[in-house]
Structure 1
Amino acid sequence: MDVRTFWLAGRPATGDSQLTVTNPHDGRDVGRYSVPTDAQVEEAVAAAHAVAGQAAALPAHVRAEALAHVSRRIAERADEIAHLITAENGKPIFWARGEVTRAIATFRFAAEETRRWSGGVQRLDTEPAAAGRLAYVSRLPYGPVLAITPFNFPLNLVAHKVAPAIAVGAPVIVKPAPATPLTSLLLGELLAETDLPAGMFSVLPVENERASVLVEDPRLPVVSFTGSAPVGYAIADQIPRKHVTLELGGNAAAVVLSDADLDWAAQRVALFSNYQAGQSCIAVQRVIVERPVYDAFVERLLPAVGGLVTGDPADEKTQVGPLVSIHAAERVEQWVQEAVDGGARVLAGGTREGATYAPTVLADVPGDAKVLREEVFGPVMVLQPAANIDEAYAMVNDSRYGLQAGVFTRSLDAAFRANRELEVGGVIIGDVPSYRADQMPYGGVKDSGIGREGLHSAMTDYTYEKVMVLTGLSL
């Protein structure tokens, strides 16, 4: 089996040890990769620090063309990349193809935003003391970005950190998830084809316990992390003087009001509670249904869940594949059993085979159960009846998380009320909370994180505002 190199300051490199990635579905070896040494990690950081000035001064057309090149090359190798995602992540090929399509757009959006990224001017002579003065307001990168990425979207969530960094002229070091480094390494190969200066990017597949060195290094002033809340907050506490963006967990609720299209709602909730095997921060976890339509909704939901195709993720027909590991599936199994021991009823699923957990629907879940209060990150949904819209919206907010929520309704008033009252970063009307357009602002409140992704939003997050005042002008 070939050993994949990692990317050190834009060039391929090998360390003195190797690790193997295995397929979550059948345990077969997917690939081996070389692991950087401590000296090589230091070299990558030093290179990013050294090139920061040059990177910030790169003309917009150079940055934009590099991003556009990556977008085109992902499209050219789309089938290969999709199969690699499926092999190392266990994501069904249907969803892997969708992730590749999104990444193509993410890099294209970044290229477009780069060409639009510009400063503004402000007249200051609105007061007599500032006659003849004009302010030019621009945004400059803080410096190199450390991008710590998760396993569940090993291409597109890496793209959401790498693309905006390059767009604003910031070097970036990617630390991919240990379970899914191969896709990031392939992305490094595409970046190496561009005219970006040496040191502009590195992909360092180091173990999690070695990431602290990168997190603490003062030469990396921005840390962008996607993952669990405990790890994210530990990083923020570790580096209180750095600029940190955190995309953390969710406990996404879908609200079904009495005026909703129940057939549509049932189909969407069934699919998007279980897509990616539930391993998405905005997968449907809580389903809050107004009591007058509760029974009718459940009658539609259960057949929709039962009709989902579970199996080999390499099969084009599979909709629900394995979790990322047997350990992850065992944790979901334990959480469901805890809820059942507390009085919950299993309406569908509730069984595990290896790393695969069956799409599961629970009712009568105790209020303190983990499957209700925490992020289950598995194919499990909890049904909750609500007396009315007031109670439904209050139930959405009864969570320490606040990433996105979905509201199935035909009422414009209910939609705007949801936008006003729900304590989340995004409200999706007429669909599940799992909807995300890659160019829109994306992020949460409460324990769901700090900062926003979406290309323009992330570019703003990676930069600071700078003012230059011109004096003695005839305006």
Structure 2
Amino acid sequence: MSRAATTAGPDVRTFWVAGRPTTAEATFEVRHPYDGRHVASVAVPSAAQIEEAVAAAHAVAAEAAALPAHRRADALSHVARRLGERTEELAALITAENGKPVKWARAEVARAASTFRWAAEEARRWSGELQRLDTDAGAEGRLAVTRRFPRGPVLAIAPFNFPLNLVSHKVAPAIAVGAPVIIKPAPKTPLSALVLGEILAEADLPPGSWSVLPVLNEAAGALVADPRLPVVSFTGSGPVGWGIRDAVPRKHVTLELGGNAAVVVCPDWSAPPDLDHAAARIATFANYQGGQSCISVQRVLADRSVFDALTERVVAAVEAQRTGDPWDDATDVGPLIDAAAADRVTAWVAEAVAAGAKVLTGGGRDGATVEPTVLVDVPADATVSCEEVFGPVLVLEPVDGVAEAFARVNDSRHGLQAGVFTRDLPTAFRAHRELEVGGVVVGDVPSFRADQMPYGGAKESGVGREGVRYAMIDYTYERVLVLTGVAL
């Protein structure tokens, strides 16, 4: 991405202030990660336009909170339907700005539509609960009605790796609970969020209840600090996320900060068909999105009894992953977001090799595209093992038994999700009890995510939860109404 203080021309993408399309003189450029070609120029909101958006969100908060459930649900259903109708257009836009293969971009659009569809259903169910209080003699005739109300407008800061669906996971729950939302997309990938603005503009929502502001990262601090935005929902890097939380300790901050997801392959997963299945899933989800997923497979901890057979199969499955032009439906692995990301990933691989690791396949690079890479004999303190690679790199390690495997999973500052290949029910429940992560996926890789389930991490992988209903809870607080003199 490059910036230029130019006068906006007819080819410049507009942004959305309080639900209205708006432009500005300053622009920045979005380029295609695969070949660097120009994709679009995007207008950058001025300080006055940002103020207008925040003031509108603050002013409409009470009206948005009082919006009837059917209007919230109808608006969300409209967005879900329109996302489905515009799938090919949006998938092409995601591939253009992000570089992910178009088949994965189509899957992202489908998930975004599902996210809004779930939000529409949850908006209709958002009713609260009744609790009789006459369980003690002193509270006879009393009934509590507990409902949840918005904390206030939400600042939604989204990353580049899922530029539509991770925006949707912040916007849809906000609309569902009646909270105004200001969307700050990643500067490298703002285009699909701007199209989402077009669709939101078609829905019956109060003016001011949403804005899409493609501000540059250095200008985001003022939005984070603004007291009129009491909720900050951030997905991205750990240092930035924890910096936000430290900067505004009195705000409600939710953070999804990634991890270095591990897979455990247990000794009972030893039959050839089982190993073939595990290898295929590991290879696919170590490399999908170029490895740029918070729950991409990074570490494989295989019982020594299956390690050699699994390694052979994983290497073959990784070598079958096709890299190349993301516009080709046959491409499995596209480029990283930019050359700087590729520089970092290949430097981490080189560091591990210098410390004694062996490359079983991959390790090369063409521009921003890094070959799917498999490493063994990686020192435990190597960066590629300890930190989030966010690239198509896989570390294989033998372990002696489930106890050692689970200890290795937990020997990390991160704890987002883990996968456990086992058919043993006690082992599955042991994994759920012992693994210090936000989610345990049994019989599959940690990369599985259903958009309605709670999603988030432990330790340095963040605080709070996404997943429509769980984000709705995060965006709201409980308010109790006690009725007195009720005949129960």
Distance 2:286 2:342 in 1: 15
345, 364, 378: which is aligned to 2:377?
364
Q: Report how far residue 454 of structure 1 moved.
A: 0.4
- Say yes or no: does 1:355 pair with 2:368: yes
Equivalences for residues 203-352 of structure 1 within 5 A: 203-260=212-269, 261-352=274-365
Post-superposition CA distance 1:381-428 (Å, at most 9, x none): 101100111101111111010000000111111111111111100000
Task: Tell me which residue corresponds to 1:111.
Answer: 120
The 5-angstrom pairing of residues 175-186 of structure 1 reads 175-186=184-195
- Aligned partners of 1:403, 1:111: CA distance in 2, in Å? 27
Aligned residue in 1 for 2:134: 125
CA deviation map 1:51-88 (0-9, x unaligned):
00000000000000000000000001000000000000
Report the CA distance between 1:306 and its aligned residue.
Answer: 0.5
Match of 1:446 in 2: 459
Deviations along 1:227-246, one digit per CA (max 9) or x if unpaired, are: 01111000000000000000
Q: Choose the corresponding residue for 2:164, options 152, 155, 178.
A: 155
SS, match of residue 192 in structure 1 = helix
In structure 1, distance between residues paired with 2:297 and 2:321: 15
Secondary structure of the structure 1 residue equivalent to 2:59 = helix
Q: Is the partner of 2:145 in helix, strand or coil?
A: strand
Cα deviation for residue 32 of structure 1 reads: 1.3
The question of 1:138 aligning with 2:140 is answered no
CA-to-aligned-CA distance 1:335-389 (integer Å, 9 cap, x gap): 1001011111000101111000000000111111110000000000101100111
How big is the shift at 1:432? 0.4
Question: What are the equivalent positions in structure 2 for 1:46-125 lying under 5 Å apart?
Answer: 46-125=55-134
Matched residue, 1:165: 174
Secondary structure at the aligned position of 2:147 is classed as strand
Question: Which stretch has the larger CA shift, 274-283 or 122-131?
Answer: 122-131
1:398 to 407, 411, 434: 411
Which 5+ residue runs of structure 2 have no aligned equivalent? 1-9
Partner-residue secondary structure (3-state), 1:320? coil
Deviations 1:120-143 (A, max 9, x none): 111111112111111110000000
Q: How far 1:257 sits from its partner (Å)?
A: 1.0
SS at match of 1:322: coil
User: Given the alignment of the two structures, is residue 386 of structure 1 paired with residue 399 of structure 2, yes or no?
Assistant: yes
**Gapped regions of structure 1 (runs ≥ 5):** none
Provide the residue aligned with 2:6 in structure 1: none
Identify which of 3, 25, 34 aligns with 2:43: 34
SS of the counterpart of 1:473?
A: coil
2-structure distance, mates of 1:357, 1:120: 52
User: What secondary structure does 1:51 align onto?
Assistant: helix
Query: How far off its partner does 1:474 sit?
Result: 1.7
Structure-1 separation of matches of 2:453 and 2:336: 28
Q: Which residue of 2 aligns with 1:373?
A: 386
Measure, in 2, the Cα distance between the counterparts of 1:426 and 1:474: 44
Counterpart residue identity of residue 371, structure 1: V
Please say if 1:472 is aligned against 2:485.
yes
> Partner amino acid for 1:447?
E
Letter paired with 1:421 = E
Match of 1:407 among 411, 420, 429: 420
Residues in 2 aligned to 1:422 and 1:172: alpha-carbon distance in whole angstroms: 34
State the alpha-carbon separation in 1 of the partners of residues 178 and 258 from structure 2. 29
The 2-side partners of 1:15 and 1:466 are apart by 42
C-alpha displacement of 1:20: 1.2
Further displaced range: 420-429 or 122-131: 122-131
In the alignment, is residue 174 of structure 1 matched against residue 187 of structure 2? no
- State the alpha-carbon separation in 2 of the partners of residues 129 and 427 from structure 1: 45
Cα shift readout 1:85-122 (whole Å, capped 9, x = no counterpart):
00000000010010011111000000000001102111
TM-score when normalising by structure 2 = 0.97
SS of corresponding position for 2:441: strand
TM-score by structure 1 length? Answer: 0.99
- In structure 1, the residue corresponding to 2:197 is in which secondary structure? helix
Q: Return the alpha-carbon distance in structure 2 between the equivalents of residues 267 and 424 of structure 1.
A: 24
Question: What SS does the aligned partner of 1:281 have?
Answer: coil
**CA shift for structure 1 position 472:** 1.5
Cα distance in 1 between the residues matched to 2:128 and 2:121: 16
Whole-angstrom distance in 2 between the partners of 1:268 and 1:176 = 30
- 1:179-198 pair list within 5 angstroms: 179-198=188-207
What amino acid does structure 2 have at the position aligned with 1:101? Answer: A
State the Cα distance separating 1:166 from its structure 2 match: 0.3
How much does 1:175 deviate? 0.5
CA deviation string 1:296-355 (max 9, x = no partner) = 111111111101110000000000000000000000011100101111100010111100
Matched length: 475
Fraction of identical pairs, as percent: 68
SS at match of 1:332: helix
- What SS is found at the alignment partner of 2:39? strand
Aligned equivalent of 1:462? 475
- Does the alignment pair 1:23 with 2:32? yes
Distance of 1:223 and 1:431 partners within structure 2: 32
Give the root-mean-square deviation of aligned CA atoms: 0.7
Distance 2:472 2:214 in 1: 24
Q: Equivalents in 1 of 2:361, 2:231: separation in Å? A: 44
